[in-house]
Amino acid sequence: MVRCAECGVHAPKGDAVAAGGEYFCSTEHAQRHGARASGHDAR
């Protein structure tokens, strides 16, 4: 199990999305987290 860096939900590592050395529960959360980190709004 890994923790989503965006929302904190725990998901099986095999189902999680890895990006930037972190894990996310969905591609949407990975993109949102990446956009916020780069100063862009993902909406």
Residue pair 24/16 in contact by the 8 Å Cβ criterion = yes
Residue pair 22/3 in contact by the 8 Å Cβ criterion = no
Residue 32, CA distances (Å) to 1, 3, 8 in order = 21, 16, 14
pLDDT reported for residue 36: 82
All structural domains of the chain with their residue ranges: 2-37
Burial of 9 (0-12, 13-18, 19+ CB in 10 A): middle
d(CA 39, CA 2): 25
Q: Which tens digits make up the pLDDT trace of 19-41?
A: 999 999 999 999 999 888 777 66
- The pTM (predicted TM-score) of the whole model is 0.83
